[in-house]
Structure 1
Amino acid sequence: MQQKTEWLELESLLGGACATFDTLASYLQLGGKCKTCRHIVPIDRHALARRFGRDRPLAGLEPKLKCTACDRRGDSVFVVAKLPR
């Protein structure tokens, strides 16, 4: 039986702290959630860290996110989920 992934908004999880790729725990899966259609997709955090830098604040990248379901840009947030053990 496959377990449903529980995604949490990054901002609510950290209580307003400024998260970067370096400060994000290794056991967390990074994802993007569209506020318009609620579509959630996992994101390759290592590829983003190589492209934008490991110390780049994630909140600054949210306007660049584009939903792959409804093609809307700038209306998405980062979400995280615990990786299975």
Structure 2
Amino acid sequence: MKHRRSIDLVAGHEAIEIDRETLATLPQWYVIHAQCPACRHETMIDRRQLAYRSGKDTTLTKIGPRLKCSSCGNRRGNQLLLGKLPRD
């Protein structure tokens, strides 16, 4: 699946263990997106700000349930998507 900015939203060749991966150990070429299932709003999340608020040792599985949609206010079923930036 591709984002409208041509960012791969599915890990390509590298497998990321989302239950063990933390904000501190996630490689720099990954970007974090959030998607609301109710209104399909999608936005990019700033990793540094997220690490400041929740702690850099927070696993990625704990972040998804804590998300709130900025468009409709939904708190249920919000998804965390990882995107991989192109590397030269």
Query: Do the structures match in fold with TM over 0.5?
Result: yes
CA RMSD of aligned residues (A): 2.4
Q: Which has the higher strand share?
A: 1
How do 1:1-85 residues align onto structure 2 when only pairs under 5 Å count?
A: 3-8=5-10, 14=16, 17-85=19-87
TM-score (norm 1): 0.74
8 Å CA contact 2:33–2:44 kept in 1: the answer is yes
What percent of counterpart residues are identical? 32
Code of the residue aligned with 2:16 in structure 1: it is L
Q: 1:33 to 1:3 in 2, by over 3 A?
A: closer
Would you tell me which structure has more helix in proportion to its own residues?
1
Deviation at 1:37, TM superposition (A): 2.5
Q: Using the alignment, how far apart are the partners of 1:27 and 1:33 within structure 2?
A: 20
2: distance between equivalents of 1:70 and 1:3? 23
Structure 1 residue 79: Cα displacement: 0.6
